Structure 1
């Protein structure tokens, strides 16, 4: 048995089971397919994602859990950065420059900077480095 997502000429979407791909083709050639919603005779296969057997997929894990060694290393780096520095958000360039110029006490910070701000910091000799991850986003 095979299931296809189908659409009719009127834009209705539905699905149907067939004995085989050949059975679908034979019914289509004979004009024996019709829309389950409006009865239109012009029906086509719709784009659909493949069905994957449960045995073929890796064990389920929450999206927040690192799985590969690289993901684990990135998660550990994030943990260390967040535990040992202050998050200053989009004030990063201003804070980094103030510390470099001696106008603010030195401390470990992390945050965000626009590309042109980061380029100016580097050109001016302010010791900064990009992090391989972005800030955590909060969902409502």
Structure 2
């Protein structure tokens, strides 16, 4: 883990932790590192003094402890507001399908074909299909969409 002192384009200073410098660069490029004070995604690393252990006196000098502890820093938003809104929409779509459609499991491709051919009543269904089965359904003119996975399902 690495901690960076950061500053936004409005000169708000804050810090955040990242698994490594590559993760910081990837999140920054995706606009996912935002200022907790104003929400700006225009963020850069601030100048930092490295923590170097002194060898001449057995360690760094001790600083006096202030009488009153400073207020805890504001939490850093790891997701932009836009990303949070998108995830909320995905959750709502998924919840709607799960509450209003029938889970036909592995029978999904066959059931979709039967409905398309008029052999069974049309209704909302969801289930499992391989990528090849989905391609075959599309080639047959049967429209299917993947049920959105929530980001937390992959973690």
TM-score, normalising length from structure 2? 0.44
Relative contact order higher in (CA < 8 Å, ≥ 6 apart)? 2
